[in-house]
Chain A
């Protein structure tokens, strides 16, 4: 298990060395500072005073509104950031001269992949915890409304990231290129999944059953970070979540990607 831990902490070291972690922390800190500034404005005090007079629920709504804003923003930030940062983890690992020593160590190839996955997911989890945790703290202290469900978003966002990261691992192994991994990740996150998310609207233009089937097929097999962000927003607002299907299919996607990655990795010569 020492070996596994070394792989996981190695990811943190790599992220720190490549200034990725630093970049994320700087951006997060800027956001947090901006938040401190906003909630200290007189107008906010006025709003709290005003809403406070007209009832507690108004303050709560305002807090939740802010939180949804941060959630959506962190979603974009995380996806963009992760794609840039983690897309190089696997290609740098399989570089000639580096992978040789790694594979000569008493750790199985499966454990290496799982270790890299765990490390990346933990990295993002810690980063998100910092950003979301602080925003939550500032809002709560200021308004006196401690809305715990906002903290759950850390898990939802990490979960979305894990799905995309699992795909990047596979692409990184096959192409050994960080650029290709990054581009694939972007296309998936910003083109394919948003388009698939509005597939029912698309269907009004498409009558061909075969095409519909293909679109449906991809909708179900691909991860749905957008839908997961919606679910977490609903949980935040206390609304009822009608379907957990995006969570399940995304989890399945992640497991499938890791399995394929491991079996590919185990067959390759380096």
Chain B
């Protein structure tokens, strides 16, 4: 089932009242998110990631196109009962304690006070904030605020959770805990929509990723699809002599990295085996070889770099 779907979604922020021109934050954006996925939205600063989440939650109004959550138009409010949201740089009323924040937003999600109370313990435990429950949040550190924010986003037991930079300001152990929490939620069948700049993290947990730049969707697919570089294989061998090196360079168009390592681009398994046969024939010891993947980060940097060049 499609939990989120947009079609030719456009958002232009009006720079001045009554003026025609403005900032195009989303440009014909079309995508879907399936139920049970952890979906990561990546993009440089100002790409339009937050804008997209805000449109899906009715915080920002779309300029044109179609945006649906649980098949409901985002102008309705009822679907929000099944949604949780952690905004970036949130600022909850600072005179409340952590516990009161959860209770207040729980009630705003339409949950009765008594039901919220029975959930508070579990939620605080989940984000490891039990000792801080009765402290006013103005005394919290950044990471603590983030943890309370996450607890708040889960108070209504949502089926879809939007998290805008959830690990911002959280220490490495906390980040791991949050990742585990998200995987746990996924195993319960919940859908998670994540905005993040920490690509190594996205790589670890996201099933699907979309890359956004200047409001346009550049690429979308699973992490594996996006990071695979085709059929490049990297070989580690015993020291290669000049004759072998020459043949690898001319005959197989390999790329040398020192004299015991090279990469080879093969279009099929047959060719790959030819390389192996040749090396064995020449008494070269193959220590290891693997199919190369680029990290999400290097893929991202390449992609955004190419976009920049295309503009210039």
Residues of chain A at the chain B interface (Cβ within 8 Å): 2-3, 5-7, 10, 13-14, 17-18, 92, 95-108, 267, 269-270
Residues of A within 8 A of B70 (CB): none
Q: How many A-B residue pairs have CB under 8 A?
A: 87
Pairwise interchain contact A103-B59, C-beta atoms closer than 8 A = yes
Chain B interface secondary structure, helix, strand, loop or mixed?
A: loop
Q: Which residue of B is nearest A7, CB measured?
A: B108
Given A18-B95, A100-B90, A104-B85: A3 touches B60 (CB 8 Å cut-off): no
Pairwise interchain contact B108-A102, C-beta atoms closer than 8 A = yes
19 chain-A/chain-B pairs, Cβ below 8 angstroms:
A2-B110, A3-B110, A6-B104, A6-B107, A13-B95, A17-B96, A92-B93, A96-B89, A97-B87, A97-B90, A98-B93, A103-B57, A104-B83, A105-B109, A106-B77, A106-B78, A106-B109, A269-B54, A270-B60
Pairwise interchain contact B80-A101, C-beta atoms closer than 8 A = no
Residues of B within 8 A of A106 (CB): 77-81, 109-110
| Extra A-B contacts (11), CB below 8 Å, given A99-B59, A105-B109 | A2-B113, A14-B95, A97-B89, A97-B90, A98-B91, A104-B57, A104-B59, A104-B83, A105-B105, A105-B108, A106-B81
CA distance in complex: A269, B79 (Å): 19
> Among A92, A95, A269, which residue has its beta carbon within 8 angstroms of that of B59?
A269
Q: Give, as a whole number of angstroms, the nearest-CB distance from A91 to chain B.
A: 13
Residues of A within 8 A of B162 (CB): 104
CA distance in complex: A99, B85 (Å): 12
Does B58 sit within 8 A of A, measured CB to CB?
yes
CA distance in complex: A100, B92 (Å): 10
Does B111 sit within 8 A of A, measured CB to CB?
yes
Pairwise interchain contact B109-A100, C-beta atoms closer than 8 A = no
Pairwise interchain contact A2-B112, C-beta atoms closer than 8 A = yes
Pairwise interchain contact A98-B92, C-beta atoms closer than 8 A = yes
Given A3-B110, A10-B104, A105-B105: A267 touches B90 (CB 8 Å cut-off): no
